[in-house]
């Protein structure tokens, strides 16, 4: 198979034609990173690698993104998703990637989080004594990133490292600018049966609309803050603005929020904020098996951001509908 290019509205298109490359036998279409990979697309990847042996993994993923017009709603190439796709094909034995040009250790993820001085005096009072709360998006330019990372790393039971993909971080302070809470939203889980059944998703709909759900991956009320109803109040404030914040940042809306609560906790604040408890995870994760769970079972909660969340999340899209086995 070879690749031909046609120019049209400044976009690239490819047309496959036969070529003598050996392609591993694929009995089924695979879904990887939400993208369907069949024999012709696998052959395309192999041909690109064969014709460009000097390309590294980054160059290969960038060229594939351009070739497939694989972009996020913001227009940015989905380079990290493509790199993960290639790595999963490599681990499945379908392609052989070149050696990494740099060590795999990510300096940013592994470096120590700087300690930032902050107030730790006990805050114990009625909620109204702290109002109005300031809920601020954390960004490097507004100087809140180091404090946010420090608080989560030190005081959240799961800790915190750097994030990738579409994320929004909120730092919540009281009217005296004392930090109260850190809230992090990121990528939704790929497949969770209680959530998918509640929404009404099939595999294709989920692949097309997964980025319209975001996961509350971290929610921390600082341990010296003892204020009744504060946590549910913060969840309410954020849920009323998050859809607009996501649209402003990433160019597409979100229709629902999800989270997973370790069963050692009761999830009271989510219930008080009207999140819906849908069931439990299996504890299996992507790399586990039904008889060998790799993590604790957690309660699954969902919060719809619009009454139309099902129609938005299940709306048809232009992506092909031949879905089969997933590589996870």
Peptide bond between residue 118 and the one before it cis (omega within 30 degrees of 0):
no
Q: Is 321 inside a domain boundary?
A: no
What CATH number does the domain containing 178 carry?
Answer: 3.40.630.30
Residues 199 and 274 in one domain: yes
Residues 180 and 141 in one domain: yes
| The pLDDT of residue 26 | 63
Residues 123 and 247 in one domain: yes
- Among the listed ranges 147-161, 264-278, 305-319, which one has the minimum average pLDDT value? 305-319
Residues 156 and 279 in one domain: yes
Q: Is 99 inside a domain boundary?
A: no
Residues 128 and 274 in one domain: yes
| The pLDDT of residue 288 | 46
Residues 52 and 156 in one domain: no
Query: Which of residues 324 and 99 earns the better pLDDT score?
Result: 99
| The pLDDT of residue 119 | 86
Residues 181 and 284 in one domain: yes
pLDDT band with cut points at 50, 70 and 90 for residue 324:
very low
Residues 153 and 289 in one domain: yes
Residues 79 and 162 in one domain: no
| The pLDDT of residue 258 | 98
Residues 188 and 284 in one domain: yes
pLDDT band with cut points at 50, 70 and 90 for residue 25:
low
| The pLDDT of residue 306 | 96
**Tens digits of residue pLDDT in 173-227:** 999 999 999 999 999 998 899 999 999 999 889 988 999 999 999 999 999 999 9
Residues 273 and 226 in one domain: yes
pLDDT at 142 exceeding the cut of 90:
no
Check: CB of residue 37 under 8 Å from CB of residue 22.
Answer: no
pLDDT at 144 exceeding the cut of 50:
yes
Q: Is 67 inside a domain boundary?
A: yes
d(CA 177, CA 179): 6
Angle between helices 39-51 and 79-91 (to 10 degrees): 100
pLDDT at 163 exceeding the cut of 80:
no
Question: What DSSP state is assigned to residue 82?
Answer: H
The structure's pTM equals 0.71
Q: Taking residues 163-170, what's their average pLDDT?
A: 86
| The pLDDT of residue 30 | 79
d(CA 160, CA 157): 9
| The pLDDT of residue 317 | 55
**Tens digits of residue pLDDT in 271-305:** 999 999 999 998 765 544 455 556 788 999 999 99
Q: Is 61 inside a domain boundary?
A: yes
Residues 36 and 129 in one domain: no
Report residue 166: phi and psi, to 5°: -80, 115
> In the chain, how many domains are there?
2
pLDDT band with cut points at 50, 70 and 90 for residue 247:
very high
**Tens digits of residue pLDDT in 77-136:** 888 889 888 988 998 889 999 888 766 544 445 456 678 888 899 999 999 999 999 999
Q: Is 103 inside a domain boundary?
A: no
Q: Is 98 inside a domain boundary?
A: no
| The pLDDT of residue 78 | 86
Query: Which of residues 99 and 72 earns the better pLDDT score?
Result: 99
Which of 40, 59, 91 is the last residue in one of the domains?
91
| The pLDDT of residue 208 | 87
Alpha carbon of 187 to those of 92, 98, 214: distances in Å? Answer: 24, 28, 5
Structural domain harbouring 87: 2-91
Q: Is 96 inside a domain boundary?
A: no
Q: Is 33 inside a domain boundary?
A: yes
To the nearest 10°, the Cα dihedral for 106, 108, 111, 114?
Answer: -170
% of the chain at pLDDT higher than 90 = 51
């Amino acid at each position: 198979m070879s690749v031909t290019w046609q120019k049209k509205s400044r976009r690239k298109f490819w047309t496959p034609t036969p070529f003598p490359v050996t392609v591993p036998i694929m009995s089924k279409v695979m879904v990887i990173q939400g993208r369907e990979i069949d024999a012709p697309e696998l052959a395309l990847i192999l041909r690109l690698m064969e014709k460009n042996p000097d390309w590294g993994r980054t160059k290969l993923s960038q060229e594939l993104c351009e070739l497939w017009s694989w972009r996020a709603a913001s227009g940015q190439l989905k380079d990290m998703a493509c790199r993960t796709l290639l790595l999963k094909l490599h681990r499945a034995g379908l392609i052989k990637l070149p050696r990494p040009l740099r060590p795999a250790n990510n300096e940013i993820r592994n470096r120590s989080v700087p300690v930032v001085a902050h107030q730790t005096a006990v805050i114990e009072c009625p909620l109204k004594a702290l109002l109005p709360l300031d809920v601020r998006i954390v960004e490097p330019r507004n100087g809140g990133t180091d404090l946010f990372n420090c608080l989560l790393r030190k005081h959240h039971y799961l800790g915190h490292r750097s994030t990738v993909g579409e994320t929004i971080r909120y730092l919540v302070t009281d009217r005296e600018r004392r930090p109260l809470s850190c809230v992090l939203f990121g990528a939704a889980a790929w497949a969770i049966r209680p959530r998918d059944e509640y929404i009404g998703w099939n595999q294709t709909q989920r692949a097309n609309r997964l980025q319209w759900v975001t996961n509350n991956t971290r929610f921390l009320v600082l341990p010296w803050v003892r204020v009744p109803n504060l946590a549910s109040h913060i969840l309410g404030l954020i849920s009323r603005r998050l859809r607009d914040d996501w649209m402003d940042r990433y160019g597409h809306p979100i229709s629902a929020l999800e989270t997973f609560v370790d069963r050692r906790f009761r999830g009271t604040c989510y219930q008080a904020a009207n999140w819906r408890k849908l069931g439990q995870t299996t504890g299996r994760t992507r790399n586990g098996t039904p008889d060998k769970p790799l993590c604790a079972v957690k309660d699954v909660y969902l919060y719809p951001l619009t009454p139309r969340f099902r129609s938005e999340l299940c709306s048809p899209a232009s992506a092909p509908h031949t879905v089969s086995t997933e590589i996870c």
